[in-house]
């Protein structure tokens, strides 16, 4: 167990790593923020962003199961040999899930669903899932080595190239948004693989025995963390899928684009904090976890809340003037959705506390509850619909109810994490 002096050394180091990831990855997020309004103004309309929103949810759900979350297990592997065995398991699972993604897309197409009508989904979905899975494994490998600077630049470069690709693929129509995202993921994956290849070659090839040992050590990630992540993504996905089926495409596109703006900065904070927080939890002395968790969660809520409040300072006329009249609905939608983002950022950025405490089953329970609540809300709204398409007033009322539910859930998730820390005396 680390002594107090060692802990004092490690914590400033973790803060430096977070700052390094935050600043370096900011290049990619800055590129996305610059590119997004230009893409809206000159390249893609709301309907294209509606397709992108649905695709993102589908790839997110499948990506959550793509490696059985052995990318998280990688961070805890002390030797390169054990890490390579863990990657080998993840790649085998990823191959199966990638094939399943293609079959799912074909099934949606032949079921005549609105989602299945997205052009080229049968190819785009498996390509996106594969890129997401490889990126997860690369992130786990580099985080295990504490090469956070390399990780940040790999992500930043790949994401920036992906944004550039979205402009180049604009002549392809709505699919161009998705193709650009996939190209960015694959560029990130290629850069990450190149960064890890030296140690990979030095490690012993995985064997049936080494993979069995890795599975025995980390099977809770497959049994608990993976289902929890799928449930979490399914809860968020159900929201977009419902809108896509029952709302006009332009409204869904405004929601999707608004969510993109809201999650660009949020994703930067969550990934930067989570990558380092999870790695450095082991350096805390016994009984020393509660205070930093409380401090970090409160700081994240306050800082993100202050940033989100800027939405009420930006006049609606600026948005219409910058993006065009077809995007006039986006700003009011963002204001409705913003309040649940602050507790979400804090809960998600510090979610590594559950696997650290060996309480992956808690996340499974929480995310099951989350999905049940979302499905219940959707069911209650469906029962009151008077037609197959929601009116604008009905859609906005649903967004307000969704925000209240989301905010309550993520506050409860933070409370559950605090209870877990107290219970474990960590």
pLDDT tens for 147-167 read 877 887 888 888 889 999 999
pLDDT, tens digit (0-9, with 9 covering 90-100), for 205-240? 999 999 999 999 888 888 887 888 888 899 989 999
6 pLDDT exceeds 80? no
Higher per-residue pLDDT: 138 or 280: 138
Q: How far is CA 71 from CA 54, 175, 209, 358, in A?
A: 25, 29, 20, 16
82 pLDDT exceeds 70? yes
The predicted model gives 5-18 an average pLDDT of 50
Please give the pLDDT value at position 9: 41
Q: What is the mean pLDDT of the chain?
A: 87
> Alpha-carbon distance 10 to 418, whole Å?
22
> Domain spans of the chain?
4-424
> Alpha-carbon distance 391 to 389, whole Å?
7
C-beta of residue 100 within 8 angstroms of C-beta of residue 62: yes
The predicted model gives 264-288 an average pLDDT of 69
> Alpha-carbon distance 237 to 59, whole Å?
10
Please give the pLDDT value at position 108: 92
How does residue 354 score in pLDDT terms, banded at 50, 70 and 90? confident
Please give the pLDDT value at position 4: 40
3-state SS track over 33-93: HHHHHHHHHHHCCHHHHHHHHHHHHHHHHHHHHCCCCHHHHHHCCCCHHHHHHHHHHHHHH
How does residue 35 score in pLDDT terms, banded at 50, 70 and 90? very high
Percentage of the chain exceeding pLDDT 70: 89
* Exposure class string for 205-239: b at 16+ Cβ within 10 A, else e: ebeeebbeebbeebebbbebbbbbbbbbbbbbbbb
Please give the pLDDT value at position 7: 44
**Apex CA 35: angle with CA 256 and CA 168, to 5°?**
100
How does residue 3 score in pLDDT terms, banded at 50, 70 and 90? very low
The predicted model gives 336-344 an average pLDDT of 95
């Amino acid at each position: 167990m680390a002594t107090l002096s060692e802990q004092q050394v490690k914590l400033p180091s973790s803060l430096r790593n977070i700052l390094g990831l935050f600043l370096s990855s900011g290049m990619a997020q800055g590129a996305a923020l610059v590119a997004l309004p230009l893409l809206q103004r000159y390249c893609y309309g709301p309907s294209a962003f509606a397709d992108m929103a649905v695709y993102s949810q589908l790839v997110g759900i499948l990506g959550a199961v793509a490696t059985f979350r052995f990318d998280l297990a990688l961070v805890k592997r002390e030797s390169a040999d054990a890490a390579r065995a863990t990657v080998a398991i993840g790649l085998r699972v990823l191959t199966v899930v990638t094939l399943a993604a293609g079959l799912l897309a074909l099934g949606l197409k032949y079921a005549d669903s609105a989602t299945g009508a997205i052009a080229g989904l049968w190819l785009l979905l498996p390509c996106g899932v594969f890129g997401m899975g490889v990126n997860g494994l690369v992130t786990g490998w580099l985080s295990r080595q504490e090469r956070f600077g390399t990780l940040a630049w790999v992500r930043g470069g790949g994401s920036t190239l992906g944004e550039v690709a979205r402009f180049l693929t604009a002549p392809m129509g709505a699919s161009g948004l998705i193709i650009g995202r996939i190209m960015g993921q694959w560029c990130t994956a290629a850069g990450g693989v190149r960064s890890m290849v030296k140690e990979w070659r030095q490690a012993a090839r995985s064997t049936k025995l080494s993979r069995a040992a890795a599975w025995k050590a980390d099977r809770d990630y497959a049994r608990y963390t993976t289902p929890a992540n799928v449930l979490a993504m399914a809860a968020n996905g159900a929201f977009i899928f419902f809108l896509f089926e029952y709302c006009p495409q332009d409204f869904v596109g405004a929601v999707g684009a608004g969510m993109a703006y809201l999650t660009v900065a949020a994703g930067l904070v969550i990934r930067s904090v989570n990558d380092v927080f999870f790695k450095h939890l082991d350096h805390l002395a016994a009984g020393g976890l509660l205070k930093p968790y409380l401090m970090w969660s409160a700081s994240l809520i306050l800082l993100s809340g202050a940033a989100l409040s800027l939405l009420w300072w930006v006049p609606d006329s600026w948005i219409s003037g910058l993006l065009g009249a077809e995007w006039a609905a986006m700003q009011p939608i963002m204001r409705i959705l913003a309040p649940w983002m602050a507790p979400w950022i804090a809960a998600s950025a510090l979610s590594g506390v559950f696997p650290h405490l060996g309480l992956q089953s808690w996340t499974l329970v929480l995310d099951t509850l989350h999905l049940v609540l979302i499905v219940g809300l959707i069911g209650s709204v469906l029962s009151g619909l008077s037609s197959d398409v929601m009116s604008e007033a009905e859609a906005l009322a649903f967004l307000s109810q969704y925000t209240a539910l989301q905010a309550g859930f993520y506050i409860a998730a933070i409370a559950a994490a605090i209870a877990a820390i107290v219970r474990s005396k960590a």
